[in-house]
Amino acid sequence: AIILLDVVLGYGAHANPAGVLAPAIEEARAAAGGKGAPAFVAQICGTDADPQDMDRQAEILRAAGVDVSFSNAEAVALVRAAFENIKG
């Protein structure tokens, strides 16, 4: 399985979306027991001026083992690469 996440930053968005997602991602991997654990790709939609600190959000997600992108095109490329790795 591959799960693609859109992480939206800015006013009106969660103050720390990656901080909420990271434990859920780790829980999903643990529940899968390593075998068939989902791959996660996140596309962060935001700017350096957003209050959530875009770089910090990316760091949190990467620490949780998520492939992070900053554009839809890059996210699709990461999903494709993850699919190829799963497919073998």
Q: What is the structure's pLDDT at 34?
A: 66
Chain segment 31-62, per-residue pLDDT in tens: 888 676 789 999 999 998 999 999 999 999 99
Q: Does 22 score more than 80 pLDDT? A: yes
Q: What is the structure's pLDDT at 12?
A: 95
CA distance 83 to 66: 14
pTM to 2 decimal places: 0.89
Q: What is the structure's pLDDT at 37?
A: 76
- Which of 13, 20, 14, 71 minimizes the C-alpha distance to 42? 71
